[in-house]
Copies of this chain bind each other. A is one copy, B any other.
Amino acid sequence: MLSPEQNERYQARMKRKKAIVDERIAKATEERGVLILLKGNGKGKSSSALGTMARSVGHGQKCGVIQFIKGRDATGEYLFFKDHPMIDWHVMGHGFTWETQDHNEDTQAAEKAWAIAEDMLNNPEYGLVVFDEMSYPLKYKNLMVEPVVEALQARPEMQNVIITGRTMPEELMEIADTISDVKDERHAFRLGVKAQKGIEF
């Protein structure tokens, strides 16, 4: 418990803080869809995109997800979201490069995924679209960045887009509104803990 004197000083400090916060809020008035990049080597990028999707669906917005890397079958997120009437979920692409070991097949898979992604970017019904691990085919040149930038810039004005992946090409960084870099400070995997259901997949 604070004493009455401490509480008074505390309140004065908080009032000053509130004035600063309120001023910042008053300055942000533009209303439009944003492009969010979630990059970096840390855990939590895809899950963050999907948590934001839950938030959008909670407000009645239709959402689309393209997974550009086909990893495990029946991940928890897929099982949870796949049948929701407001969500279109596409597991596309190929496996990780070191699993498939076939660059040309990876490219064909990436192109198919991009065709669906492009349709979503042309459709104003989608309030949010998530391109999960899209940085991956971009990095390995299975997908060119120029048409992606073009389609993102021509998308419906109120549409939000989240792209996840370790490394983002400079061209996407330039046009992004929000960029979070998720840094791996520690990971249970390196402590010897097996990847587990409900946490990693």
Q: How many chain A residues have a CB neighbour from B under 8 Å?
A: 87
B-contact bits for A34-64, CB 8 A (1 contact / 0 none): 1010101011111111111111111101000
Cβ contacts under 8 Å, A186 to chain B: 176-179
Assess whether A102 is interfacial by the CB under 8 Å rule: yes
Q: Complex formed: what's the CA distance from A82 to B156 in Å? A: 30
Q: Is the CB of A98 within 8 A of B58?
A: no
B-contact bits for A81-114, CB 8 A (1 contact / 0 none): 1000000000000001111111110010000000
Cβ contacts under 8 Å, A185 to chain B: 179-181
Q: Complex formed: what's the CA distance from A98 to B200 in Å? A: 36
B-contact bits for A158-201, CB 8 A (1 contact / 0 none): 00100000000000000011111111111111111111111101
- Lowest 3 A-B CB distances belong to which pairs? A47-B51, A58-B76, A58-B80
